A and B are shown apart, each in its own frame.
Chain A
Amino acid sequence: MMLELAIGIILGGCALGAGAAMIAGIGPGIGEGNAVAKACEAIGRQPECKGDVTTTMLMGCAVAETTGLYALVIAILLIFVAPGRFVDILLNAVK
């Protein structure tokens, strides 16, 4: 009974941690929104350099996305990898 409770706490903690990690998605969202807004302004001001602005904007978006993707990797690890590891550790400790 206690073991099941412990495993439940592990799974719940991992899920909560994954959800909390994805709060980091806010930052890249705001950053990319700013980048795209400025790119739109630039294209509106100088439509002839649309190609260059778009390429640079996509590059900037990709780099700004990195922090969000770090959070995503942490969340994926917490959901798919961590529970198995922790449960193994727990079962070994019980033995």
Chain B
Amino acid sequence: MENKKKFLATDIIYLSLLALGPLFAIALKVLFTPQADDINIAGALIFFTVKLPFSDLPVTETQVNSLVVIWSIFWLCKYITHGISVRGGLKRQIIAEWIVEKTKSLVKGNMGEYFASFAPFVAAIMGLSAFSSLLTLIGLYPPTSDINTTAGWAILVFILITYYKFKCGPVHYLKSFGDPVPFLAPLNIISEFATPVSMAFRHYGNVLSGSVISVLVATALQGVSHLIFGKLPGMLANIPFLQIGLPAVLSVYFDLFSGLLQAFIFAMLTMLYVSGGFPAEDYAAKKAARDLKRAAKQNSN
């Protein structure tokens, strides 16, 4: 009985810490948003600017909201994995196991056995991206509709790709640019840098275009309903009747479907690019040759 109470109390603590993040972000937004009546398609709010010697560091909504997402995901994971046991687990343990198994099988299926340890990284990117995009559902600014966030992730992925391309040594890496003919090297270099750029722009453009279209449609509906219902007496004239319902349908597509799809696609492209950049056959051949040499050395000794 005592244990059960303790367990429940821990659960409540985790959940309240989880909710604290979005509440904090909403409070900040309410405090800092300037009053405006017309349509507002602005970038992230700048809360304050830190003076640094070389260039000022503005602390924006993007940074705060992405930290909030990280904080909330951390406590969500704590909650989901709370009370894990080998036998007779809770319902949430099934969800946690399902997530882990699905990610592992996805990574193994797309990247091969060598990259099996990539599962946590891919799951982290997918979760962070998905929850960042879903932040629009509670009216917050999604960090993924800022180019800086997605560009940061894309640069991280680019570093990973280059690291795995370097696995066979720098000579092999430089040679890969002259493939299939050395004449095409400039194009290969351009396409090397186009990878992170297109990844960043794809994610950012999808989320941003969704929010821009939603705002435009909502404003247009307001105008149309003023035109139609403006003659109604009293307070009724000021209620935008057409705004009821239709923006929600758009939100289901742009916020829910598009956001989750982009998270999946970003993780998928990460897996494909990293495993595609890795010269698996050459690496295996090199490793086999090295092993052979080592074995021969040991035999001679």
Contact = CB atoms under 8 A, between A and B. Distances in A.
B198 A66 contact: yes
Interface of A: 58-59, 62, 65-66, 69-70, 72-73, 76, 80
Contacts of A72: 205, 208-209
Contacts of B268: 59
Interface string B88-132: 000000000000000000000000000000000000000000000
B265 A69 contact: no
Contact of B201 (A58, A59, A69, A80): A69
A62 B265 contact: yes
25 contacts: A58-B264, A58-B265, A59-B265, A59-B268, A59-B269, A62-B202, A62-B262, A62-B265, A62-B269, A65-B202, A66-B198, A66-B202, A69-B201, A69-B206, A70-B201, A70-B205, A72-B205, A72-B208, A72-B209, A73-B201, A73-B204, A73-B205, A76-B208, A80-B41, A80-B43
Nearest to B206: A69
Main secondary structure, interface of A, reads helix
Nearest to B265: A62
B76 to A, nearest CB: 26
B256 interface: no
Contacts of B212: 76
A66 B265 contact: no
Interface size of B as a range: 10 to 19
Contacts, number: 33
A80 B208 CA distance: 13
Interface of B: 41, 43, 198, 201-202, 204-206, 208-209, 212, 261-262, 264-265, 268-269
B110 to A, nearest CB: 10
B41 A69 contact: no
Nearest to B106: A55
A26 to B, nearest CB: 16
Contacts of A70: 201, 205
Per CB-CB distance, the 3 closest pairs between chain A and chain B, nearest first, are A69-B205, A62-B265, A66-B198
B208 A66 contact: no
A66 B201 contact: yes
Contacts of B209: 69, 72
A80 B43 CA distance: 10
A48 to B, nearest CB: 17
A50 to B, nearest CB: 16
Given A59-B268, A76-B208, A80-B41, A69 B261 contact: no
A62 B43 CA distance: 24
A73 B205 CA distance: 7
Contacts of A80: 41, 43
A62 B265 CA distance: 7
A80 to B, nearest CB: 7
